[in-house]
């Protein structure tokens, strides 16, 4: 691969071209050419990565399959210990990882920290709780006392993980952690815009003691590497857009392998009349503008009971206008950059179309090339046409609309008027009422008095979407079980459960009927 001189931006970091080239060198693939990776901070190329093809994917899956056979036999407590060490290493090396994360994504350092902390949170959860989820489980037998049943679990084998660019640190590994704990190997395909953070994490996993080959990384174009991977693995965990998710599901279906699909959203936030408006405004700012709005859980539609609409807007607009923008490699600025020109174009077109159809811009609404080539101001819209793209489609940028609603029922109806169902939030002084409203909202996660962090960081609870937001769940026992193949072992103490020799069929049916009734009563008592 051709060697380029480091762009000046490297001087602000702990990174060098040599370091990135050594990370790219971890990929066992053709070195010539490759794909250029650019930083959104200056739009300079920072390094190239191998453009893997089907043969490279094939070789990576083969290596993973070979390594998996031994990894599965490592005692689960030792596998858990490796993951604990990995979490500690991520915390220890956080400043270097944050430099790389910021360089690849342009996100503000304070938003990057969320990703770093998420890794030890997830690894310690599965290291502590995961082993008991893998233990044999007794289940009810067919005939009480005469037969029993137990469930044992095996790893599915090799898990393919396809990750997006928006949270490339945490989404590269937090789906891998339960898969590895369960004894699977993983082949990870990061987004082509953000491969280096994934490679740095693979390096740390190895340093933590993960044997070579148990986690392989393949880089390259999604439409080439993605399908090649799905055709070779035993399960695929995909995070990305709904459009790509459908093609992943189709391919997984053809191959008869399981898949989880963590897709897009158009997340509603409901502010009830009794809410603490200052807290709701802070929550709206955190939710809508974290990572410049490129967060799948970000609220993009806010509904406020009309008696408090103006007060909420005052608080929200005031807090938003105080946000600082910047691209420094330190904890100062609140909001960083969008990932690239395509994302900027999408954000600009959503806002322009909204304004053309009558929306007002209360804050932001401008591209800020003076801050960075792809920076866009945190933007609040009102009077948005319900049919416009900004009202219906995921913007995935720092843009949110605020709409008054007559009452709670109208708020719930508006919130549910979407094909998506990923995340929502309800803001109220009455937490119990918040929970009641949450039960009415068609989303995989609903937070009360928080925009998304309380739900996301509850690692013990499942997370995922309904409708166009996806299938399956990450986190909690559900996030581990997707990577397991359960086996039922049933033992009979009576020999074959069939009519004994010499017993007429009619008598046997009477015996079975009696046993069925006995079983029903027993199940009620137990
Ligand atoms: P994308 O679907 O374009 O890309 C995601 C990944 O899929 C990348 O690694 C890409 O290379 C790969 N890919 C592209 N084409 C492929 C194909 N034909 N087969 C297999 N893989 C392919 O997504 P994006 O637009 O880059 O990411 C942003 C989207 O991800 C947003 O919609 C966002 O809401 C969603 N997202 C969802 C979650 C969640 O947890 N639900 C989290 C983060 C992002």
Residue 109 forms part of a structural domain: no
The residue with tokens 């409203």 is 437
Looking at residue 8, its pLDDT comes to 85
284 and 415 share one domain: yes
329 and 227 share one domain: no
Say how many domains are in the chain.
2
Domain containing 457 — which CATH number? 3.40.309.10
Q: Which residue, 434, 464, 494, sits at the end of a domain?
A: 464
Could you tell me which residues come within 8 angstroms of residue 29 by beta carbon, excluding any fewer than 6 positions away? 50, 51, 52, 53, 56, 218, 219, 220
> What confidence tens digit (pLDDT) does each residue in 152-169 have?
999 999 999 999 999 999
Q: In three state form, how does the secondary structure of 466-502 look?
A: CHHHEECCECHHHHHHCCEEEEEEEEECCCCCCCCCC
Residue 105 forms part of a structural domain: no
Q: For residues 160 and 179, what is the distance between their CA atoms, to the nearest angstrom?
A: 10
Question: Could you tell me the residue range of the domain that residue 95 belongs to?
Answer: 52-99+115-263+477-481
> What confidence tens digit (pLDDT) does each residue in 101-121 have?
999 999 999 999 999 999 999
- Is residue 456 lining ligand 1, measured as CB closer than 6 Å? no
Residue 213 forms part of a structural domain: yes
What percent of the chain stands above pLDDT 90?
A: 91
> What confidence tens digit (pLDDT) does each residue in 452-475 have?
999 999 999 999 999 999 999 999
Could you tell me which residues come within 8 angstroms of residue 22 by beta carbon, excluding any fewer than 6 positions away? none
280 and 244 share one domain: no
CB 148 within 8 A of CB 138: yes
- Is residue 264 lining ligand 1, measured as CB closer than 6 Å? yes
Q: Say whether pLDDT at 2 is over 80.
A: no
Strand partners, 309: none
Cα torsion angle, 169, 170, 176, 180, sign: positive
Residue 494 forms part of a structural domain: no
182 and 88 share one domain: yes
What is the pTM for the complete model shown? 0.96
245 and 275 share one domain: no
Mean pLDDT of 518-524: 86
Distances (CA, A) of 505 to 456, 495, 511: 57, 18, 10
194 and 277 share one domain: no
- Is residue 222 lining ligand 1, measured as CB closer than 6 Å? yes
Atom of ligand 1 nearest to the CA of 251: 19
457 and 424 share one domain: yes
Who has greater pLDDT, 519 or 119?
Answer: 119
Who has greater pLDDT, 30 or 50?
Answer: 50
302 and 449 share one domain: yes
Q: Say whether pLDDT at 208 is over 50.
A: yes
Q: Which residues are catalytic?
A: 262, 296
Q: Say whether pLDDT at 251 is over 70.
A: yes
Looking at residue 4, its pLDDT comes to 54
Cα torsion angle, 436, 437, 442, 446, sign: negative
Burial of 417 (0-12, 13-18, 19+ CB in 10 A): middle
- Is residue 241 lining ligand 1, measured as CB closer than 6 Å? yes
Q: Would residue 120 be called left, alpha or beta, if left means φ above 0 and alpha means ψ between -120 and 50 degrees?
A: alpha
Residue 522 forms part of a structural domain: no
For ligand 1, atom 34, which residue shows the shortest CA distance? 264
Q: Say whether pLDDT at 33 is over 90.
A: no
Looking at residue 28, its pLDDT comes to 81
CB 352 within 8 A of CB 376: no
CA 494 to chain centroid = 49
Q: Say whether pLDDT at 518 is over 90.
A: no
167 and 225 share one domain: yes
438 and 411 share one domain: yes
Ligand 1 centroid – CA 359 distance (Å): 29
Ligand 1 centroid – CA 261 distance (Å): 10
Largest CA distance in the chain: 92
Domain containing 246 — which CATH number? 3.40.605.10
Atom of ligand 1 nearest to the CA of 296: 34
Looking at residue 1, its pLDDT comes to 45
Distances (CA, A) of 454 to 272, 451, 458: 19, 8, 6
Q: In three state form, how does the secondary structure of 240-300 look?
A: CCHHHHHHHHHHHHHCCCEEEEECCCCEEEEECCCCCHHHHHHHHHHHHHHHHHCCCCCEE
Question: Quick one: pLDDT band at residue 519, thresholds 50, 70, 90?
Answer: confident
Looking at residue 31, its pLDDT comes to 62
For ligand 1, atom 35, which residue shows the shortest CA distance? 240
Mean pLDDT of 130-143: 95
- Give the residue from 43, 24, 4 showing the smallest Cα distance to 339: 43
- Is residue 165 lining ligand 1, measured as CB closer than 6 Å? yes
- Name the token pair of 214: 């148990």
Residue 211 forms part of a structural domain: yes
Ligand 1 centroid – CA 238 distance (Å): 7
Looking at residue 302, its pLDDT comes to 98
Residue 498 forms part of a structural domain: no
Looking at residue 447, its pLDDT comes to 98
Ligand 1 centroid – CA 244 distance (Å): 6
Q: For residues 285 and 299, what is the distance between their CA atoms, to the nearest angstrom?
A: 9
Residue 456 forms part of a structural domain: yes
Q: Which residue, 464, 498, 516, sits at the end of a domain?
A: 464
- Name the token pair of 229: 């991977």
427 and 323 share one domain: yes
217 and 339 share one domain: no
Ligand 1 centroid – CA 216 distance (Å): 19
Task: Tell me the angle at which helices 109-133 and 76-92 cross, rounded to the nearest 10 degrees.
Answer: 170
Question: Quick one: pLDDT band at residue 67, thresholds 50, 70, 90?
Answer: very high
Q: Which residue, 464, 498, 518, sits at the end of a domain?
A: 464
Q: For residues 120 and 268, what is the distance between their CA atoms, to the nearest angstrom?
A: 29
């Amino acid at each position: 691969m051709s060697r380029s001189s480091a762009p000046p931006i490297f001087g602000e970091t702990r990174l060098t071209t040599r370091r990135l080239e050594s990370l790219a060198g971890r990929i066992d693939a053709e070195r010539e050419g490759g794909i250029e990776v650019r930083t959104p901070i200056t739009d300079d190329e920072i390094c190239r990565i191998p453009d893997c093809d089907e043969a490279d994917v094939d070789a990576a899956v083969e290596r993973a399959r070979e390594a998996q056979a031994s990894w599965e036999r490592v005692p689960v407590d030792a596998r858990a210990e490796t993951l604990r060490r990995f979490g500690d290493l991520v915390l220890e090396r956080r400043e270097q990882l944050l430099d790389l994360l910021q360089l690849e994504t342009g996100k503000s350092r304070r938003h990057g920290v969320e990703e770093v902390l998420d890794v030890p949170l997830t690894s310690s959860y599965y290291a502590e709780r995961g082993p008991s989820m893998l233990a044999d489980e007794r289940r009810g037998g067919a005939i009480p006392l005469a037969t029993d049943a137990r469930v044992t679990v095996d790893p599915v084998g090799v898990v393919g993980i396809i990750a997006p660019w928006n949270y490339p640190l945490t989404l590269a590994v937090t789906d891998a952690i339960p898969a590895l704990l369960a004894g699977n190997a993983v082949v990870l395909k990061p987004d082509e815009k953000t491969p280096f953070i994934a490679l740095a994490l693979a390096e740390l996993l190895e340093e933590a003691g993960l044997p070579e080959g148990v986690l392989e990384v393949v880089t390259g174009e999604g439409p080439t590497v993605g399908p090649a991977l799905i055709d070779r693995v035993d399960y695929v965990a995909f995070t990305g857009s709904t459009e790509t998710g459908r093609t992943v599901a189709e391919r997984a279906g053809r191959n008869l392998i399981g898949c989880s699909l963590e897709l897009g959203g158009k997340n509603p936030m409901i502010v009830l009349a009794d809410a603490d408006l200052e807290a709701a405004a802070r929550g709206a700012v955190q939710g809508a503008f974290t990572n410049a709005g490129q967060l799948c859980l970000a609220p993009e539609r806010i509904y406020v009971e009309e008696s408090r609409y103006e007060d909420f807007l005052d608080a929200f607009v005031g807090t938003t206008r105080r946000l600082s923008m910047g691209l420094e490699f330190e904890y100062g600025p609140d909001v960083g950059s969008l990932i690239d020109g395509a994302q900027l174009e999408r954000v600009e077109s959503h806002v322009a179309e909204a304004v053309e159809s009558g929306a007002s811009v209360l804050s932001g609404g401008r591209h800020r090339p003076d801050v960075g080539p792809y920076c866009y101001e945190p933007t609040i819209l009102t009077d948005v046409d319900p049919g416009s793209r900004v009202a219906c489609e995921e913007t995935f940028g720092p843009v949110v609309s605020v709409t008054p609603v007559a009452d709670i029922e109208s708020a719930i109806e508006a919130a549910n008027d979407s094909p998506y169902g990923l995340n929502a939030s309800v803001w109220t002084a009455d937490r119990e009422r918040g929970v009641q409203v949450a039960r009415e909202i068609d989303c995989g996660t609903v937070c009360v008095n928080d925009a998304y962090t309380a739900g996301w960081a509850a690692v013990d609870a499942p997370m995922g979407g309904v409708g166009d937001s996806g299938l399956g769940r990450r986190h909690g026992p559900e996030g581990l079980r997707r990577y397991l193949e359960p086996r039922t072992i049933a033992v009979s103490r009576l020999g074959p459960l069939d009519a004994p020799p010499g017993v007429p069929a009619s008598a046997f049916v009477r015996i079975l009927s009696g046993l069925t009734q006995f079983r029903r009563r027993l199940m009620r008592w137990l």
